[in-house]
Structure formats: C-alpha cells, structure tokens
Chain A
C-alpha cells in the first residue's frame, strides 16, 4: 500500500492482514461483520424512511404508491430484513457501549453477550411483526 508521508513524499506502508487471513465465521468476527453490514444496510433503510415521509407529505396519491410498494411481497421482505437489521444493530451497539465502558472483554462473556444479541434480535423482530400483524388484522 502506498501513501504520502508528512513531507508529501510517496512511501510504502505496511498492510494489515486482510480478510482471507482470518476465520470469518467465528462468532466474534461474524457478529462484528454483521454489525457493520446492518449499519450499511440501514443507510438504504433511512433513504426508504425519507421516501415514505416525503410521499406522506406529498398527499394521498403518492402515499398510496409508497404503501402499495411497502405492502408487496418484495416490500414486506425488505421491511422484515430492515427490522431484523435495525434490532441487530441496536443490540450489537449496546454491546459496543458496554465494551466502551470497559466491561465484558473476556471470552466467556463475549460469547454470552453475543448469544444475547442474537436472541434479542430474533425476539424483537418477531415482536415488531406481531404488532404489525395485530394492527393489520384490526383494520382488515
């Protein structure tokens, strides 16, 4: 990898080990990668959220278009994925805040909080869609 030193001269810098030198499917690395992936996915999620709000502000016609997209099979699949990604990123973020505060670095605790993150994501994703189903059924 080449870069510039403080005098502006081109220098070769050492490379840190890249993806292929790690076992990416240990729980620790996999959850770390997922945290980043779900964060990036929510960049798209936020764009969809703004689209929905802009359609709502534009009036009943545009809102109906957005709502029919959201209610389609593809839309529901994307929304379900975004829900899971949101809860995963939330609980993984809580885990990061715990680490930032200086707790939970030993291996057994790391695995325990990892599993808590996975199960909490599943539970909150299901709970959110139970609320969706109840709200939807109540209006149908």
Chain B
C-alpha cells in the first residue's frame, strides 16, 4: 500500500484553508509586506543616500542663494522629495519594529507606534512642502 508522501501528510494536518495558504497573509492579513517594504525602501535609499550625503558635503559653507538655487533645480527637488518620503517610510517601519521589541504593555506599544508614525508623517509633509516651496 502507498504511504502518504511527506507533502500529503503535511497537508492533512493543516488547519489553514488552501486559499489562505495561497494568499500567504497569515493571521495579521498583511503577510511579509512590512518586512518586504523595509527591504525595498533600503534599496531605494542606497543611491539616494550617496547623492544626498555628497551633495550636502559639497554645499558646506555655501551662501543662502546658492543652496536655495541648488534645492530648486528640478532634478535635485525630485531627488529631495524622494529621499524625504522614502526615508520617513523606512524610519517609521524600522522604529515600529524597535518599539514592538521593547515597549510593553500592548496599549502603550500601540500608542508609541502611532506617535512615531504620526511624527514621521508631519515631518515628511513639512520637508516635502519646503522643497516644493523652493522649487515651484
């Protein structure tokens, strides 16, 4: 007689529906999205960080007019907005993990995460509007 294969045996023990397994989103309904977005934003930040750090270093001691003109150039303004948006997304995601690790009880942890996300949103909007004001 044929014994069940390891895979069939595994499936027989599963309490998860086949559809749930295919979607792979787990009980929190977002699967690996948070983890995945942290990686995607980190890859995007590699060239942006290089550009931002060396651009800023090159502006050391520059007068107001020159710095404002630099930020107003379309390519620089675009990269600045992207740097701000992606950095704050990455920071909010990273800080969330840190807070999840260290803050107890659950109520205070949720509050701390919301506070960080809210602060990140406010600062990101302020940063983007500042760049737009210079560029437009």
Smallest beta-carbon distance B34→chain A, Å? 14
| A40: B residues at CB distance < 8 A | 94-95, 98
- Inter-subunit contact B131/A132 (CB<8 Å): no
Contact of B130 among A53, A71, A86, A129 (CB under 8 A): A53
Also in contact, A54 and B127, with CB within 8 A (given A60-B64, A63-B67, A129-B57): yes
* Residue A73 interfacial (CB < 8 Å): no
Q: Which of A45-64 contact B (CB under 8 A)?
A: 46-47, 49-50, 53-54, 56-57, 59-60, 63-64
| A93: B residues at CB distance < 8 A | 42, 45-46
Smallest beta-carbon distance B35→chain A, Å? 9
Count of chain A residues with Cβ under 8 Å from any Cβ of B? 40
What's the Cα separation between A90 and B99 when bound, in Å?
A: 21
**Interface-centre pick from A42, A57, A96 (highest chain B CB count, 10 A):** A57
* Residue A21 interfacial (CB < 8 Å): no
- Inter-subunit contact A135/B59 (CB<8 Å): yes
Interface, chain B (partner A; CB < 8 A): 39, 42-43, 45-46, 49, 53-54, 57-62, 64, 67-68, 71, 80, 84, 87-88, 91, 94-95, 98, 104, 106, 116, 123-124, 126-127, 129-131, 133-134
| A39: B residues at CB distance < 8 A | 91, 94-95, 98
Smallest beta-carbon distance A104→chain B, Å? 16
What's the Cα separation between A49 and B133 when bound, in Å?
A: 16
What's the Cα separation between A86 and B42 when bound, in Å?
A: 12
- Inter-subunit contact B130/A57 (CB<8 Å): yes
* Residue A43 interfacial (CB < 8 Å): yes
- Inter-subunit contact A57/B133 (CB<8 Å): yes
- Inter-subunit contact B53/A86 (CB<8 Å): yes
Apart from A4-B106, A46-B91, A54-B130, 9 more pairs, CB < 8 Å: A47-B123, A50-B126, A53-B127, A54-B126, A56-B68, A128-B57, A131-B54, A133-B60, A135-B60
Also in contact, A132 and B57, with CB within 8 A (given A36-B98, A47-B123, A49-B127): yes
